[in-house]
Amino acid sequence: MQTASFAETIAAARLAVTSRATSTSTAPTAPAAPGSLTRWQARTRVENDARAAELPATALPRARAALSLPVSTPAPLAPTSRALNLTERPTEPPKPRMLALYPEEGTVRAARPLSRGELKLWLFLHRLAVDVGKERGYTHTPRQIALHCPAVTIAGALGITDRHLRRLAAGLERAGLLDCGGHAQQIGARSMYDGTLYAVLTLPGEEPPRLRAEDWRHNWRPDFEADVLGKTGAAAEMSGLSQAGAKPEDKYRAAKQRAAVPDAPSAPLWPSPDIFGPVNLRGVIEGIAALWRLHSSKRARAVGALASQIASALAESDRRRYWCGVIWQALTAQDEGRTGGLSALTAQFDRLAVDLREGAPWRSPGAVLAARWKGAM
C-alpha cells in the first residue's frame, strides 16, 4: 500500500471542507406532505378554514401580506380617515357664561315717592335681591326676584321692630315695588311660621311684582325643624350678633346667608319661566286638577294664585284677570256638569304643552290657548 504525500492529504482535506460548506449554504427543501392526515390534523384544518371564512374579505390578504414581510419590517396598518389625536384642542373656545346685569335701585324706583323708613327698607331689599340673583347665577335679568328671609333677621339688620317692618313693607307694596307675605311650614302636627317671602322688583316698570304659587309651595328652609328643636333659628342668631356688638355689614351678611340658602337640597326657583327655558305648564295642569276638590271657601284664593301662575308661565302679566275669568267659567261648568269644565281646560293646557315641547313657532302662546278655548266652548 502506497503512502500518500503530505500535499495530497492537505488537498483532499481542503476539498472535503469546501464541499461541506457548499452543501450547508443551499436552502433546505420543505418536507414532502404526508400521504394521509391524522384525525387531529384534519379537525384542526377544518376549524382553521371556518375561522378564515368568518373574517372580512380584505382581512385575510392583509394578514398573509403581513406574514410574508421580513421580521424587521412591521406590518402596515389599515389607513384611517382621520388620525385620532387625544391632545388636540378645540378650534373655537366655548362661549363665556355672562351673568345678568341689574339696574340701580334709583332706576327701578323711578319717581315713586317713599318715606325715609320705606326708602331705607327698599335699599336693603333691593341690594339683597341683587346679591341673591348673583348667587343663583341668573344669565338674564329677571323682572322680579323672589327670596325668603325671616322678618326678625331683616328687622335686626335695620335696627327696627317686626311691627315697624311690616308697616314699611306695606308702604312698598302700595308703591308697586314689593310683594310679601308670611310663609309657614308643617312641623309635626303644627303649622309654624318659618319666614317671610319677598318678591322684589328688579327692572323698571309699572307692573308690580307678584308672588307665584310655586314660591309658596317651595321648601325654603329644609333645616327649619332642626332649628326649632335646637333653638338655633334666626332669632337666636340675631340675638347673638347684637350681644357681640356686630356691625351693620355683619348683620347684612347674615341676612344674605339666610336669603340665598346655599345648603338647600332643592334648586332655587326661576323668577320668570318665559326667560329661562321653555314654558313649563305641568304645575298649571296639576293645579287645575286639584282645584275642584277644594272647599268653596278656599277656591277664590286658589283661583287667584293659579291665574297668576298661568299669566307668569305665558309671559302675560297683564292678563291675570282674564285667566281668573276662564278658570271660574270652567269651574262653574264642572260643578253644573256641563261641557267645557276643568277637564276640557286641562286638555287645552296639555295640548299647548305638547305643542311648545315640539317647538311650535308662536310668539304668543297665550293667544293660541285663548282661541282654542273659545272654540272648545
Higher model confidence: residue 376 or residue 201? 201
Kindly indicate the confidence band of residue 219, based on its pLDDT and cuts at 50, 70 and 90: confident
CA gap 225, 233 in Å, rounded = 10
Return the higher-pLDDT residue of 165 and 360. 165
> Please, which residues bridge with residue 195 across strands?
183
Summary mean pLDDT of the chain:
77
Residue 179 has φ and ψ, to the nearest 5°, of -140, 130
Which is more confidently placed, 55 or 268? 55
In a domain, 66, yes or no: no
Both 255 and 116 in a single domain? yes
Residue type, 335: D
| Total domains present in the chain | 2
Tell me if 291 is assigned to some domain: yes
Asked whether the predicted pLDDT for residue 113 surpasses 70, the reply is: yes
Q: Are residues 243 and 338 in the same domain?
A: no
Per-residue pLDDT for 129 more than 60?
Answer: yes
- Residue 277: how many CB atoms within 10 A of its CB? 8
My answer on whether 247 and 291 are in the same domain is no
The reply to whether 256 and 286 lie within a common domain is: no
Please tell me whether residues 128 and 171 are part of one structural domain: yes
Which cell numbers in the block locate residue 280? 313649563
Which of 81-90, 170-179, 324-333 is modeled with the greatest confidence? 170-179
The model scores a pTM over 0.75:
no
Range of the domain at 223: 105-260
Per-residue confidence (pLDDT) for residue 36, from 0 to 100: 64
Residue 112 located in a structural domain: yes
- For 65-111, write each residue's pLDDT tens digit: 554 545 445 555 545 444 445 555 555 655 565 778 899 999 999 88
The letter for the amino acid at 52 is A
Distance CA 322, CA 370 (A): 10
- The x, y and z cell numbers of residue 376, run together, are 272648545
pLDDT surpasses 50 at 273: no
Strand partners, 198: 147, 180
Residue 347 forms part of a structural domain: yes
133 shares its domain with 256: yes
In angstroms, rounded to a whole number, what is the distance separating the alpha carbons of residues 136 and 154?
20
Residue 302 lies in a domain: yes
Residues 319 and 232 in one domain: no
Same domain, 214 and 328: no
In this structure, are 207 and 312 located in the same domain?
no
For residue 369, the tally of other CB atoms under 10 A from its CB is 23
pLDDT at 265: 45
What angle separates helix 234-243 from helix 151-158, to the nearest 10 degrees?
Answer: 20
Sequence-separated (6 or more) residues with CB below 8 Å from residue 181 = 196, 197, 211
Which residues have C-beta within 8 Å of that of residue 212, sequence separation ≥ 6? 146, 269, 305, 308, 309, 312
Neighbours of 221 (CB within 10 A): 20
Task: For 240, list phi and psi in degrees, rounded to 5.
Answer: -65, -40
Q: Is residue 146 situated within a structural domain?
A: yes
Kindly state whether residue 89 falls inside one of the protein's structural domains.
no
Distance of CA 30 to the CA centre of its chain: 72
| Residue 37 in domain | no
Identify whether residues 322 and 234 lie together within a single domain: no
Helix ranges restricted to H, the chain: 6-25, 39-54, 59-68, 105-109, 116-136, 151-158, 162-174, 213-217, 224-230, 234-243, 248-260, 282-291, 296-313, 320-336, 342-357, 365-376
Question: Do 293 and 243 fall into the same domain?
Answer: no
Predicted local distance difference test score (pLDDT) of residue 202: 92
- Using the predicted structure, report yes or no on whether residue 311 has a pLDDT greater than 60: yes
Task: Look at residue 199 in the predicted model and tell me its pLDDT.
Answer: 93
Do residues 286 and 229 share a domain?
no
- Please tell me the predicted confidence (pLDDT) of residue 93: 58
Please determine, for residue 272, whether its predicted confidence score (pLDDT) is greater than 60: no
d(CA 61, CA 374): 74
